Amino acid sequence: MTQPIQHIVLIGAGNLATQLGLALHRNGLHVAQVYSRTEASAKKLAQQIDANFTTDLTQITPTADLYIYALTDAVLAEVINKISVTNGLHVHTAGSMPMAVFAHKTSNFGVLYPFQTFTKNKLVDFTEIPFFINANSAENIDKLSFIAHKLSKRVFLSNDEDREKVHLSGVFACNFTNCLYTIAEKLLAEQNLPFDILMPLITETLEKLKELSPSDIQTGPAQRGDQLVIDKHIKLLEQHPEWQAVYELLTQTIKINKTIK
C-alpha cells in the first residue's frame, strides 16, 4: 500500500512556488518548510501557509515525504546538487527539464508540472489547471497522482517528450501571444489610443476557442488572401522593421496553414 504524503518541503518562493504553496495549504496538504535564497520571500510564503522557512540549503529538513523544487530551469540542477537530502520523493515543476535530473541524487523522483502562468499576487483556480505528472515507479506515480488530484480535476500522466511539447505549445499560445499584445499596445500608443479598445476583440476570440478549433476561427487579410491590405500593413510598419518581419512571417504562416488545413 502506498504511503500517503504527509509532510512537504517547498523549495522556492517565487511566482509558481507561492501559488502552489497556497493551493496545497488550502487543500489540507501540510507544507512543513519553505526554502528561498531570499529571507523576505521565504518568510512571507511560510507565514501564509503556516510553515517554517530557511535560506540555507544545508538546513532543509531531511524527514519530509515530498520535496517540490519550484525553481527556474537555470538553477534547478545547481540546487539539486547542493541539497544533501536523499530521503522522500523529489520532484520538479518544470515543463522543459527531464525527470532524470534527480537520478544521481535519489532513488525516488518525478515531475509535478502545473501548466499555467503564475504571478505571486494573483490567485488562480487550480481545479482547472492541467497537471502533468510522472515518476520513476508506480508507487511514486500514485503519490503524485494523489497530490495532483487534490489540486486539479485535470491530471495527465506524461513522459518527458510529451511535457516538452506541452511547454512549447504554451510558449506559442501564451508567451508569444503576449508579445504580440505588447506590439499592438505600442502601435495604439503611437496614436494615443488605449490598449483596452482591443479587449472586446480578444475576449470574443477566446470565447470562440472554448468551442472551436483555432484553425476554424482564423480570420484577417492573410486568411482571406487580401494582398492589398497586407501590403498596406507592411508599409505602415516601415519604422519598425522588427515588427514588420514578425508581420510578414506570421502572414506567411497563416497562408501555409490555410493550404494544409
145-163 pLDDT, tens digit each: 999 999 999 999 999 999 9
Distance (Å, rounded) from C-alpha 189 to C-alpha 30?
48
CB 192 within 8 A of CB 169: no
Q: Looking at the structure, do residues 145 and 183 belong to the same domain, yes or no?
A: no
The structural domain count of the chain equals 2
Order of strands across the sheet that contains 52-54: 52-54, 31-35, 8-11, 66-69, 89-92, 109-114, 131-135, 155-157
Note the pTM of the prediction, 2 decimals.
Answer: 0.89
Q: Looking at the structure, do residues 195 and 144 belong to the same domain, yes or no?
A: no
Q: Is residue 29 part of a domain?
A: yes
pLDDT digits (tens, 9 = 90+) for 238-253: 999 999 999 999 999 9
Of 110, 141, 158, the position where a domain reaches its end is: 158
HSE-up of residue 203 (Cα within 13 Å, Cβ side): 5
For position 134, which CATH number holds? 3.40.50.720
Region 113-142: mean pLDDT is: 95
Of 108, 135, 158, the position where a domain reaches its end is: 158
Q: Is residue 203 part of a domain?
A: yes
DSSP state of 66: E
Q: How far is CA 224 from the centre of its chain?
A: 34
The SS3 of residue 154 is coil
Q: Is residue 3 part of a domain?
A: no
Q: Looking at the structure, do residues 130 and 201 belong to the same domain, yes or no?
A: no
Of 108, 142, 158, the position where a domain reaches its end is: 158
Q: 125: pLDDT confidence band, cut at 50, 70 and 90? A: very high
Domain extent, residue 150, equals 8-158
- What are the CA-CA distances from residue 17 to residues 47, 93, 152, 239 (Å)? 14, 9, 16, 41
